[in-house]
Amino acid sequence: MKICKTPKEMQHFRATLSGSVGFVPTMGALHEGHIALIKRSVAENDHTIVSIFVNPTQFLEGEDLDAYPRKIEADLKICELAGVDALFLPTPLMMYENDELAIMAPKVKGFILEGASRPGHFDGVLQVVLKLFSITTPKRAYFGKKDAQQLFMIENMVKHLFLPIMIVPCEIVREPDGLALSSRNVYLSTTQRKDALLLSKSLKKATKLIIEGERDAVKIKTMMEEVLSPTKLEYVEIVDRAFNLLEKVETKDTIILVAARVGTTRLIDNMWV
Ligand code: AMP
């Protein structure tokens, strides 16, 4: 497995690859969720590039940029075993200029839900993903449905900028009890982990209500909020696949999203109905 530490090195290596290239951008501390994306890319492409970059521009002031878990040795082994061709490990200095080009998330869909809780977050996400796409020029790029709004923002960017890249959405990988895997789960104490489980429990509750015939978004959200009451809830929302808020659930076109803090750890989860 080739390790590339600079954009130039990565671009040179990319130029030696013939056939299809799959790309999996990550912030590292790899878990089974990331591994599922990597394995899918390895299965569907002639070559796979994984990036590990804790991107400072998508963190807000006071967020966990410095504390974000870093496990580079373990990540390297995971990628090697999974059959990754190249690992791209840039530093912020190599990725950004002083007077940097501004990339802005769309004014409406980029500033609701995650964008409202974390203003500017999606500007940073789109900025880094566009740079990573330019460096790796993949045929396909793999993203988790876990970050549903991020996935939507990136699909939109690719569409708006006519980028010749196929975005492949991948299912959420969960612990056996339902907790969505996240690099941030390592912050949770044993008792906090129990409360963290309430996010997926609230989504299961919503699914049960929908199966029973409930379609009213307010009623579903109220029941979910009850389940989530021990957490510091940021939002529960029901949207269609284009992130328009819904009053009534439309099956096969709905995403139910939740964001909450457990202790100081901010967690998100969602369910595609
Ligand atoms: P991150 O390292 O958190 O930036 O995530 C890198 C990619 O992995 C993103 O596309 C995430 O949506 C995806 N991902 C993170 N957690 C999961 C999970 N539990 N299941 C599926 N994909 C995930």
pLDDT at 196: 98
* Helix residue spans in the chain (DSSP H): 7-16, 32-44, 72-82, 92-95, 114-117, 121-136, 148-160, 190-211, 217-227
Q: Which of 34, 47, 121, 160 is catalytic?
A: 34
What tens digit of pLDDT does each residue of 69-90 get? 999 999 999 999 999 999 999 9
pTM score > 0.85 for this model? Answer: yes
DSSP 238: E
Q: Look at residue 120 in the predicted model and tell me its pLDDT.
A: 96
Q: What are phi and psi of 81, to 5 degrees?
A: -65, -30
Q: Does one domain contain both 33 and 166?
A: yes
Q: Please indicate whether residue 124, judged by its CB atom, sits closer than 6 Å to ligand 1.
A: no
pLDDT, residue 18, reads 97
Last residue of a domain, one of 121, 139, 170: 170
Mean pLDDT for 87-95 is 98
Residue 135 lies in a domain: yes
Can you give the pLDDT at residue 20? 98
Under 8 Å between Cβ of 167 and 154: yes
For the Cβ of 180 lying below 6 angstroms from any atom of ligand 1, the answer is yes
Q: Over 65-106, what HEC string results?
A: CCCCCCCHHHHHHHHHHHCCCEEECCCHHHHCCCCCCCCCCC
Q: What confidence tens digit (pLDDT) does each residue in 32-46 have?
A: 999 999 999 999 999
Would you state the pLDDT for residue 108?
Answer: 96
Query: What mean pLDDT do residues 190-198 have?
Result: 98
In angstroms, what CA-CA distances link 212 with 205, 207, 208?
11, 9, 6
Residue 175 counted as domain residue: no
pLDDT digits (tens, 9 = 90+) for 199-249: 999 999 999 999 999 999 999 999 999 999 999 999 999 999 999 999 999
Residue whose CA is at the smallest distance from ligand 1 atom 11: 144
When pLDDT is cut at 50, 70 and 90, the band that residue 1 belongs to is very high
Whether 272 is in a domain gets the answer: no
Interval between CA 82 and ligand 1 midpoint (Å): 16
Burial label, 89 (beta-carbon count in 10 A; 0-12, 13-18, 19+): buried
Domain of residue 33, residue span: 2-170
pLDDT at position 41, please? 99
CA–CA gap between residue 248 and residue 172 (Å, rounded): 24
pLDDT tens, residue by residue, 127-154: 999 999 999 999 999 999 999 999 999 9
pLDDT at 88: 99
Question: Is 270 inside a domain boundary?
Answer: no
Q: Would the CB of 224 count as within 6 Å of ligand 1?
A: no
Where residue 195 sits, what CATH number does that domain have? 3.30.1300.10
- Number of separate domains in the chain: 2
Say which CATH number the domain at 145 has.
Answer: 3.40.50.620
Q: What is the pLDDT of residues 53-74, one digit of tens each?
A: 999 999 999 999 999 999 999 9
Query: Same domain, yes or no, for 148 and 192?
Result: no
